[in-house]
Structure 1
Amino acid sequence: MSKIFITGSTDGLGLLAAKKLSSMGHEIVLHARNQKRAEDVHQELPNSKILIGDLSNQSEVKNLAKQINDIGPFDTIIYNAGVASASHQLIFKINVLAPYLLTALVDKPKRLIYVSSGMHNGASLDLNNLETNTDYSSSKLQVLILAKAIARLWPNIATNAIDPGWVPTKMGGSGANDDLEQGYAGQVWLASTKDSSITGQYLYHLKPSHYDSRADDTSLQEELLDQLAKITGIQLPH
């Protein structure tokens, strides 16, 4: 069985994936933004470890990376946490900077899974003003570019991005019309599969899906990595 860490796993798709993977016998380590959220999710999965860190705070993200390494190594890390309704600065910090920092600082697992969105297609991308001009769609394009870059630079790690669809979670809202179970099934499958040849993919409902071709532009990948390194002061190890 695998040891799996999931960011943003106190509710929504992260918690649903955690519950399913736990029921399959995997060792799940949860992530909560603060102690109150940790106490709430402890009721849901009482046997799981819970690490605490506010992903909007760079020093807390660095501390979270240390917590992860202290109890690692992990077989799979799922970068699931995200916000949609917030300022551009907060969206960028949580949706893009946090997974970049954790990827750079955490000991490499066997598998990496990044949660993107179909809304990334055609999104704006202002690489010179990421901290102020990143809306939700742009953040999910950046996440996909990051995942594609990692898959290229770290070929021994199965790295993929997933579009969970527009599903009726707290983030998705009651109007969402996609299949909730399918929304987390991709995370569960990639986290538990023994097939390490699946890498560099963008998946929707367990199948390769159309994505913005900019994600495959290696010069764009390198430019994004350079900008993220400048903003954080942390280089991605090659």
Structure 2
Amino acid sequence: MATHVITGAGSGIGAAVARRLHARGDDLVLFARNAGRAKELAAEFPGASTVVGDLAEPERLSWAFSHQTLPDRVDTLLHIAGVADLGSVGELTPKIWQAQLNANLVSPAEITRHLLPQLRVSQGQVLFVNSGAGLAAHADWSAYAASKHGLKALADSLRHEEKPNGVRVTSVYPGRTASPMQAKIHQQEGREYDAARWIDPESVATTILMAIDLPRDAEVNDLTVRPGKP
């Protein structure tokens, strides 16, 4: 039975992945931003463990971990949580920049740092859910895209560093996916949101499970998933 540490299990792609792994009987360790959210996740996924840590404050994660018990074994670390705030370079404040860099880049690096010893022992896998914005930046997406371009660099560097230890590293780049975050993005863009136009989170979850279940003689480095509808 594998043990999976997941951020972002509360909604969207993260929830879809957590449901699939929970249904097949794997052990889940779910990140929550506060104790109240941890209680909700524990109720939604009976038997799962929770770790409380606010991705908005990566500098406090080490302290938070020191007051909790991290899992002894980690087979996969799934970075799925993320935040997005759009705006032009001329409008975005340092606070908005920092919030996206913290949640989308610095916190994944910090969580990975703390769990690498367990991943090395299990010869496990780190999977980053990136974004199409991590491959190409467009107008009004600078801060989010910068955080995701940075996440790609983190994954690529980690892959080279940890290959001798048997740790696999995968980046998944979904296009627009039906989720609460996508609804928020449409609101910021001033557009009507129609979930049926975009990728179902379950479809992205299918690609993620394929990557982590792949036999050990191969690894998926980068996987792009695009909406199938015109």
> Does TM, normalized by the shorter one, top 0.5?
yes
- Are the equivalent residues in 2 in contact too, given 1:113–1:160 (CA < 8 A)? yes
**Per-residue CA shift, 1:182-201, capped at 9, x if unaligned?**
122222222333335205x1
Aligned position for 1:184: 205
Q: Tell me which of 155, 170, 173 is aligned to 1:160.
A: 170
The alpha-carbon deviation at position 65 of structure 1 amounts to 4.7
Residue ranges of structure 1 left out of the alignment (5+ in a row): 125-132, 207-238
Residue ranges of structure 2 left out of the alignment (5+ in a row): 87-95, 184-192
SS of match in other structure, 1:102: helix
- Are the equivalent residues in 2 in contact too, given 1:51–1:67 (CA < 8 A)? no
The alpha-carbon deviation at position 95 of structure 1 amounts to 0.5
Q: Hey, what's the Cα distance between the residues in 2 that align with 1:184 and 1:64?
A: 29
The alpha-carbon deviation at position 121 of structure 1 amounts to 2.3
- Are the equivalent residues in 2 in contact too, given 1:7–1:31 (CA < 8 A)? yes
The alpha-carbon deviation at position 164 of structure 1 amounts to 2.7
Alignment of 1:115-194 (within 5 A): 115-123=129-137, 135-155=143-163, 156-173=166-183, 174-176=193-195, 177-194=198-215
Distance 1:196 1:140, change over 3 A: farther
Aligned position for 1:101: 110
SS of match in other structure, 1:31: strand
Percent identity, aligned pairs only? 24
Q: Hey, what's the Cα distance between the residues in 2 that align with 1:192 and 1:160?
A: 12
The alpha-carbon deviation at position 60 of structure 1 amounts to 3.2
The structure with more radius of gyration? 2
Query: What amino acid does structure 2 have at the position aligned with 1:35?
Result: A
The alpha-carbon deviation at position 119 of structure 1 amounts to 1.4
Alignment of 1:1-238 (within 5 A): 1-66=1-66, 70-85=70-85, 87-106=96-115, 107-109=117-119, 110-123=124-137, 135-155=143-163, 156-173=166-183, 174-176=193-195, 177-195=198-216, 197-199=218-220, 201-205=221-225
The alpha-carbon deviation at position 70 of structure 1 amounts to 3.3
**TM-score for both structures, normalised by structure 1:** 0.74
- Are the equivalent residues in 2 in contact too, given 1:113–1:159 (CA < 8 A)? yes
Q: How many residues align?
A: 197
**Per-residue CA shift, 1:142-168, capped at 9, x if unaligned?**
111111111111112110100133111
Distance 1:34 1:196, change over 3 A: farther
Query: What amino acid does structure 1 have at the position aligned with 2:70?
Result: D
